[in-house]
Structure 1
Amino acid sequence: MKPLGTLAILIGLAVPVAAAAHGPTRQKITLTTDVAATPEAVWDVIGDFQDMTWHPVVIGTKGDGGNEIDATRVLTLGAEDGPTISEVLYRYSAEKMSYSYRITDVKVEVLPVTNYSSHLTVKPLEGGGAQVEWRGAFYRGYPNNDPPEDLNDEAAIAAVSAVYRAGLDAIAARFAGN
């Protein structure tokens, strides 16, 4: 066999192996909502890293460090004895009305993600009002190939989108009619 023919066969065999070895890719989502309030009024509600009770699923927040970098919080979900999510703040700007945090501990049964980070920002809208933007980046809950349906990319995207949408809808509803 000619050397080029052998090389073509080897490349042909290697491509499926390389494709099968590829693990999960980082997922990214951004959701926004427009709010009938000043950016400052919205920031007064959501700008304290230690208090996320504005979100309808969060029934309690405990933490240390205020809004300082490396502050921590533990969110209790649904009920007093409900599941928890532990998070750490890694960027905060009251001036820019934004902060960034990452999850340090959550069970995939609660939120089917790993290596999750998020960014929450309030921006002024032209003509009045505010826009709240919630961005996230994460990997699915199952880090290996062939994830179960409840821990695949689609499940992770759907779960994070539902969390963001519930929070954004609650903020918009809070200021409706202002």
Structure 2
Amino acid sequence: MKFILIALLSSLLFPLSTLAHGPTPQKAKESIVINASVEAVWNAVKQFDAIANWHPDVKASAGDGKHESGGIRTITLQNNGQLIEELDYYNDQDHEYNYRLKTENVKAFPTSSYSISLQVKAGDDAGHSEVLLKSRFYRGDTGNSPPENLNDEAAVAAMNQFFKNGLAGLKQKLEN
């Protein structure tokens, strides 16, 4: 009898647990081929705190000058919102670094957290490079019913546009 009662209660409560869910991680990935050597492209992007020199969505950037795990930069976007980011990994030899959002600011950018990887590698043709940006992130509102401006779709659209604009800006800077 005790077993039947436990089984009955479990079957009644199980469906309720499926209604409670949080956000799922989202991903973005963009790349571009640039008519410039790996060294030329890497020289343009390797200064973690100088993203404003090539990314059109970034009005200003400043940092502590560290190009190693723990390095910090503050970027000011065109909407005047600021994001503070921290380097997790930096490898000059492999032309790659990874960083993450250190301080959330959903008014500036509709994500509550993100990690981004930037890598420069040789392209298929001599004298060409491929730049790859990848990210894993969560929407700005991690509740079960986020508003439209902070939901998964808004976060994915913002991250993809940020990547596309940045890569196009880098290409324009290096090829013109």
Q: Does the TM-score normalized on the shorter chain lie above 0.5?
A: yes
Question: Does structure 2 retain, via aligned residues, the 8 Å contact 1:84–1:106?
Answer: no
> Contact between 2:51 and 2:61, CA under 8 Å: does it hold in 1?
yes
Distance 2:156 2:15 in 1: 27
Q: Residue 122 of structure 2: which of 121, 124, 127 is its match?
A: 124
Deviations 1:116-138 (A, max 9, x none): 11110001112221111001111
1:18-57 paired onto structure 2 within 5 Å: 18-53=17-52, 54-57=54-57
In 1, the alpha carbon distance for the partners of 2:117 and 2:82 equals: 19
Q: Unmatched 5+ residue regions in structure 2?
A: none
1:110 corresponding residue in structure 2: 108
Aligned residue number for residue 66 of structure 2: 66
Q: Deviations for 1:28-59, whole angstroms, at most 9, x for unmatched residues?
A: 11111111111111111011112101100212
2:83 corresponds to: 85
User: Normalising by structure 2, what TM-score?
Assistant: 0.89
Cα deviation code 1:5-43 (max 9, x no counterpart): 984x65654443222111111111111111111111111
Contact 2:105–2:112 under 8 Å retained in 1: no
Distance 2:113 2:61 in 1: 21
What is the aligned partner in structure 2 of residue 97 from structure 1?
95
Output the CA distance in 1 between the equivalents of 2:39 and 2:9. Answer: 62
Once the two structures are TM-superposed, the CA of residue 151 in structure 1 deviates from its matched residue by 0.8
Structure 1-normalised TM-score? 0.88
Amino acid across the alignment from 1:175: L
Aligned residues: 174
Output the CA distance in 2 between the equivalents of 1:30 and 1:65: 27
Q: Pairwise mapping of residues 116-155 of structure 1 onto structure 2 (< 5 A)? A: 116-128=114-126, 129-155=128-154
C-alpha displacement of 1:155: 0.7
Tell which deviates more after alignment, 103-112 or 134-143.
103-112
Whether the aligned pair in 1 keeps the contact of 2:75 and 2:82 (CA below 8 Å) is yes
RMSD of aligned Cα (Å): 2.1
- How far apart in 1 are the matches of 2:18 and 2:33? 41
Residue of structure 2 equivalent to 1:171: 170
Structure 2 distance, partners of 1:166, 1:55, is: 7
Deviations 1:80-133, CA, capped at 9 Å, x for gaps: xx2211111110001010001111124212111112111100011122211110
Q: Which runs of 5+ in 1 are unaligned?
A: none
Q: Which amino acid aligns with 2:114?
A: Y
The secondary structure found in structure 1 opposite 2:66 is coil
Question: How far apart are the structure 1 equivalents of 2:122 and 2:10?
Answer: 54
